[in-house]
Amino acid sequence: MKHAVTNRIILAGFLLLLMFVQASAQTDPLPSWNEGPAKKAIVEFVKTTTDKTSPKFVAPEARIAAFDQDGTLWVEQPMYTQVLYCLDRVPAVVKAKPDLANVEPFKTVLSGNREAMAKFKMPDLEMLVAATLTGMSVEEFSAEAKKWLDTAKDPRWKRPYTELTYLPMQEVLKYFRDNGYRTYIVTGGGQDFVRLYSQRVYGIPPEQVVGTAGGTKYRYTKDGKPYLLKEPKMLLNDNDAGKPEGIYLMIGRRPYAAFGNSIGDKQMLEYTQAGDGARLMMLVHHDDDKREYAYGPNTRVGTFTDALMAEAKKKNWTVISMKDDWKQIFAFEK
Amino acid sequence: MKHAVTNRIILAGFLLLLMFVQASAQTDPLPSWNEGPAKKAIVEFVKTTTDKTSPKFVAPEARIAAFDQDGTLWVEQPMYTQVLYCLDRVPAVVKAKPDLANVEPFKTVLSGNREAMAKFKMPDLEMLVAATLTGMSVEEFSAEAKKWLDTAKDPRWKRPYTELTYLPMQEVLKYFRDNGYRTYIVTGGGQDFVRLYSQRVYGIPPEQVVGTAGGTKYRYTKDGKPYLLKEPKMLLNDNDAGKPEGIYLMIGRRPYAAFGNSIGDKQMLEYTQAGDGARLMMLVHHDDDKREYAYGPNTRVGTFTDALMAEAKKKNWTVISMKDDWKQIFAFEK
């Protein structure tokens, strides 16, 4: 027994030594990033807020970093992934309620005319969301959406949507977490939709996803089993001013870092910046039409207006150029 | 250098050995609990869900335990602590808006007649909450409430309200956390009020507090600094069915254990029980008029009806008798 303990001590010592050596090795936490102001801003922020001797040190429990999802962590063109899910659900919905086949916007969806669909206005989208994402238990919703996520593929890259995440941003998520930050998704997308894959895809647990949220209603089945029914009622519209409001509701702490890519992230970045000490505000700019997309003021989604660019300059937010700052876009490349 | 490394290995080995010895020591995780069915239920639940060889093992990331606050973690008589805060704020509110002095319910509050206040109906309380907790920035709210929490004292025990937590429940919180559970407060009280002290008082970080939540509005000061204004608008009434609905909204996972003390916790316990595998549902019963309070069906707060007791029996929920199960109520005793 005494011998076993000695062996254990020696083994433990070697393991510690190994960890020490690994930690000392100079490894680049952001290998998919080119050297430049964007990469530098990230690394300097993390170093200064986690160095105990720094006047801008942030206590571990307060280390919160907020990330928009669509266009910031993964592809949002030509349509938000969740909208594609709603469209794909329409035939099943119409099968259950055949009268809808002749009612807009369902009629257009069934016609398959993507150009017409791209012109849907907010009331159309709200009707689609209500019809395809509500009126069922949260378990039914999860099962359906998971099935779709496992099988649906993006037509350009011919891969599941969940593989279309940006490798450089995955590195940022990991780098922040390795330095004691809790990474939150703060998305205009549906909170319970994103929660289905956030752990698997981003390493972010469901409770760290803040998103647009509908209400649920507590009900009982005929045999008395309780369940939550998804209702067509908006509790939180997690866009624009809704992002800081959602952060206050769901986290109750101001983030130290915030990443976005569109005008809908402006208030989240402002709110982050309004805190004390070191704060990091960054915007992903889609300027790479070869490897991904280039889009700006005139797109339906991910609007990056000239006003936003001016705001970024004025407020010292760092703009990430996908073209110049990212060596590689997706993990599956090369 | 080589010598220093060897020393470090030996030191590390001793530290590991020390940890090993400490872990093996048979210490009672719930020393303020008498032996009995309640204590047994807690210990068996934790053991069976954290033992890898158990068929009811729960993966660490899914280990969620939900605790009602008022009457479950701390004293709720003769009034909820947060209601006392609202009442104490009334003079300052009336000073700013003198017309309110002659308007109910403010007039009664100013009269100091506690018996009359105890008869306030829901609309009265809503007016008080709106007047005392909204119409200010979240920072102003925090500063005011913190000041009060630091100075106000319970008249019976002559101590800050934050010391009136139940020692046996503090042990349960710690025991769960030591076994990889994340402990959440799920309270009918104001979410942002409870978040102000949850870390200090219960070791629960603000983002793990789910409570009744009002809306906020994103605004700018005259010099362009953004802030969140607390609005008199209810987003989540975290009582009754609102508890499972709030859990879905804020956590997105079903708890494995739920502790409550009143009819308002019934749905949370039902929802917890409706999950697979081992689940723990417990109710604190206030039956100790000497050391705390004895109350049941006829109280304004913490209503423990005969119907709830019958429900507990039927559904196999464990009732905790404060009188019989708890050796000591408060940490400051003896």
Q: pLDDT per residue over A228-271, tens digit each? A: 999 999 999 999 999 999 999 999 999 999 999 999 999 999 99
Tell me, what's the pLDDT at A19?
A: 62
- Tell me if ipTM is over 0.85: yes
Torsion of CA A232, A236, A237, A242, to 10 degrees: 170
Which of B50-59, B78-87, B265-274, B278-287 shows the lowest per-residue confidence on average (mean pLDDT)?
Answer: B78-87
**pLDDT for residue A302 is more than 60:** yes
Q: CA separation (Å) from B219 to A270, B66, B231?
A: 11, 34, 12
Given an 8 Å threshold on Cβ–Cβ distance, is B12 in contact with A10?
A: no
* Confidence (pTM): 0.91
Q: How confident is the model at residue B3 (pLDDT cuts 50, 70, 90)?
A: low
Q: How are beta strands B159-160 and B226-236 bridged, if at all? A: unpaired
DSSP bridge partners of B213:
B236
Q: How confident is the model at residue B25 (pLDDT cuts 50, 70, 90)?
A: low
Q: Which of A226, A253, A271 sits opposite B226 (nearest CB)?
A: A271
| Mean pLDDT in residue range B37-59 | 98
Angle made by CA atoms A236, B246, A89, in degrees to the nearest 5: 60
Give the residue, A300 or B284, on which the prediction is more confident.
B284
**Per the omega criterion (within 30 degrees of 0), is the bond before A105 cis?**
yes
User: Mean pLDDT in chain A?
Assistant: 92
**pLDDT for residue B149 is more than 60:** yes
B36 and B326 Cβ atoms separated by less than 8 Å: no
Given an 8 Å threshold on Cβ–Cβ distance, is B138 in contact with A248?
A: yes
Given an 8 Å threshold on Cβ–Cβ distance, is B207 in contact with A241?
A: no
Residue numbers in A near B216 (CB within 8 A): 245, 248-249
For testing contact with chain A, the best of B234, B248, B268, B272 (most A CBs within 10 A):
B248
**pLDDT for residue B165 is more than 60:** yes
A193-228, pLDDT tens digit by residue?
999 999 999 999 999 999 999 999 999 999 999 999
| Mean pLDDT in residue range B267-276 | 98
Which of A186-190, B70-74, B124-128, B135-139 shows the lowest per-residue confidence on average (mean pLDDT)?
Answer: B124-128
Residue numbers in A near B215 (CB within 8 A): 245
The amino acid occupying position B50 is: T
Tell me, what's the pLDDT at A81?
A: 94
In percent, how much of chain A has pLDDT > 70? 90
Tell me, what's the pLDDT at A114?
A: 86
For A188, phi then psi, to 5°, come to: -70, -15
**pLDDT for residue B93 is more than 60:** yes
Rounded CA separation A11/A13 (Å): 5
Q: How confident is the model at residue B16 (pLDDT cuts 50, 70, 90)?
A: low
Rounded CA separation A196/A112 (Å): 27
**pLDDT for residue A111 is more than 80:** yes
**pLDDT for residue A7 is more than 80:** no
Tell me, what's the pLDDT at A13?
A: 66
Q: How confident is the model at residue B210 (pLDDT cuts 50, 70, 90)?
A: very high
Burial class (CB in 10 A: 0-12, 13-18, 19+), A201: buried
A120-161, pLDDT tens digit by residue?
888 898 899 999 999 999 999 999 999 999 999 999 999 999
Write out the residues of chain B at the interface with chain A, using a CB-CB cutoff of 8 A. Answer: 5, 8-10, 12-14, 16-17, 61, 138, 191-192, 195, 199, 205-207, 209, 213, 215-218, 225-228, 235-236, 241, 244-245, 248-253, 267, 270-271, 274
